[in-house]
């Protein structure tokens, strides 16, 4: 939880809950709670604040990068989790070469949207969709629908692609996930219908010498 000032309203809060599926049942594995304690941001209400088993102690304090935002974190260990394809990828940084390579991927994505090519769009997202379907005990088709893209295309939304010069490669997960964003965090592809707009910005990974969509 990050806030621009430590003082919070009484009912302000955010919660992170990690669950484990064990013997067909979902069990709370690790959690983190950020809320107001005596009018100030706090993580004290997190279960097992001082740590227990696989969950470490909650750390909190002003974010060192700007000394204004208040940050609440904790570390937890997991095992037996399937390794997703993107975790095997190469770390990427922002550079002209990587920006150009990634922009070509956005152009391919844009053309699929423009042509309403559902088959190619499914293939574009297939790796991430199949892994998410397995994780959620669902199907690729249901995961595809959950992205919202099929509904937007059905409702008549049209894609718009901006010029790459206004964007940079922004990385996540220590450089293994990345995408294009402008200074405000917006992507180069927007779905438009009249006055309605919706942004699309999947995460990408560089695996086995090629860029793939990682959802």
DSSP string for residues in 62-80: E-TTTSSSEEEE--B---S
Q: Is the pLDDT of residue 2 over 50?
A: no
pLDDT in tens, 24-40: 788 888 899 988 888 88
Does residue 204 sit in helix, strand or coil? strand
Are 64 and 133 in a shared domain?
A: no
- Give the span between the Cα atoms of 11 and 126, in whole angstroms: 41
Mean pLDDT of 84-105: 94
Average pLDDT, the chain: 89
**What are the distances in angstroms from CA 124 to CA 7, 86, 153, 163?**
45, 14, 16, 22
Domain that holds residue 59: 2-73
Are 51 and 142 in a shared domain?
A: no
Q: What's residue 1's pLDDT? A: 46
Are 172 and 197 in a shared domain?
A: yes
Other Cβ atoms within 10 Å of 56 Cβ, number: 16
Are 107 and 197 in a shared domain?
A: yes
Percent of the chain past pLDDT 70, that is, above it, reads 94
Are 196 and 125 in a shared domain?
A: yes
Mean pLDDT of 68-79: 83
Domain boundary among 21, 47, 73: 73
Mean pLDDT of 128-138: 89
Q: What's residue 140's pLDDT? A: 94
Q: What's residue 53's pLDDT? A: 84
């Amino acid at each position: 939880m990050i806030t621009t000032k430590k003082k919070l309203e009484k009912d302000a809060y955010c919660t992170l809950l990690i669950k484990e599926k064990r013997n067909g049942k979902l069990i709370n594995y690790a959690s983190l709670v950020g809320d107001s304690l005596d009018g100030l941001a706090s993580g004290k209400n997190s279960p097992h604040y001082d740590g227990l088993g696989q969950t470490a102690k909650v750390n909190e304090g002003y974010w060192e990068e700007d000394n204004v935002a208040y940050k609440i974190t904790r570390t937890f260990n997991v095992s037996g989790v399937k390794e997703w394809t993107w975790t095997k990828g190469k770390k990427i940084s922002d550079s002209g070469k990587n920006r150009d390579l990634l922009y070509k991927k956005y152009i391919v994505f844009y053309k699929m949207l423009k042509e309403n090519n559902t088959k190619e769009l499914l293939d574009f997202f297939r790796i991430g969709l199949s892994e998410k379907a397995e994780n959620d005990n669902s199907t690729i088709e249901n995961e595809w629908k959950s992205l919202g893209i099929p509904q937007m295309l059905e409702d008549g939304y049209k894609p718009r692609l901006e010029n790459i010069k206004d964007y940079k490669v922004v990385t996540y997960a220590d450089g293994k996930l990345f995408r294009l964003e402008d200074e405000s965090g917006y992507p180069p592809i927007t779905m438009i219908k009249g006055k309605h707009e919706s942004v699309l910005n999947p995460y990408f990974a560089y695996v086995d010498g090629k860029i793939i969509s990682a959802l």
